Amino acid sequence: MRLGYGIYFSLEDPLSFREVVLLRAPELSTLCDTIKNTPLNTEITNYEKFHGRLTEYLQEYLLHGGYLPAISEYLIKKTISKAIFDIYIQWIIGDILKHNKNENYLYEIFKGINTTYGSQISWNNISKHLSIEHQSCPIKLFHQKTS
């Protein structure tokens, strides 16, 4: 999908953190390239000057996940609506159903994740809240037998 200025984006593919930084602050392009190409144990000149902005962008990125509709809404309203989250949920459900997977198992897993929110997430913890046998491989949970 084209969004202007010769830039093409797919609404279904999230932007990377680097892409979000460049979208918000194109003038940080050189710094992003420097960070990308610098070993972790090497100090970057002038980084401290931009640390606050990059930290702010990272905190926002953790909220919107790089999805353009969520980025846009967050920048305008400083919140992300349930409607935007519902779009993402429908994308996930649609992707699973496209691959002949069982939607009921998906809802059970979402319910298990919601129930265990705030504690460590693992298949063992989630399985305690599901009707699905916990010994099953997580990938097999979605596989529907076809005769």
Give the pLDDT confidence of 6-26 residue by residue, as tens digits. Answer: 555 555 678 899 999 999 999
**Residue 111 domain-assigned (yes or no):** yes
Q: What's the domain range around 125? A: 99-141
Specify whether 21 is located in the same domain as 73.
yes
Q: Which residues contact 132 (CB under 8 A, 6 or more apart)?
A: 105, 108, 109, 141
**Which stretch of 1-5, 85-89, 91-95 has the lowest confidence by average pLDDT?**
1-5
Euclidean distance between CA atoms 112 and 28, whole angstroms? 41
**Residue 44 domain-assigned (yes or no):** yes
Q: Is the C-alpha dihedral spanning 126, 129, 134, 138 positive or negative?
A: negative
**Residue 118 domain-assigned (yes or no):** yes
Higher pLDDT, 109 or 71: 71
Residue 132 has pLDDT above 70, yes or no: no
Across residues 72-94, what is the average pLDDT?
86
Specify whether 105 is located in the same domain as 54.
no
- Distance of CA 103 to CAs 14, 27, 32, 133, Å? 23, 45, 41, 16
Euclidean distance between CA atoms 77 and 1, whole angstroms? 24
Number of domains in the chain: 2
Specify whether 113 is located in the same domain as 73.
no
**Residue 90 domain-assigned (yes or no):** no
**Residue 147 domain-assigned (yes or no):** no
Mean pLDDT across the chain: 77
Euclidean distance between CA atoms 144 and 39, whole angstroms? 46
Specify whether 61 is located in the same domain as 103.
no
pLDDT of 55 reads: 94
Would the pTM count as exceeding 0.75? no
Specify whether 55 is located in the same domain as 107.
no
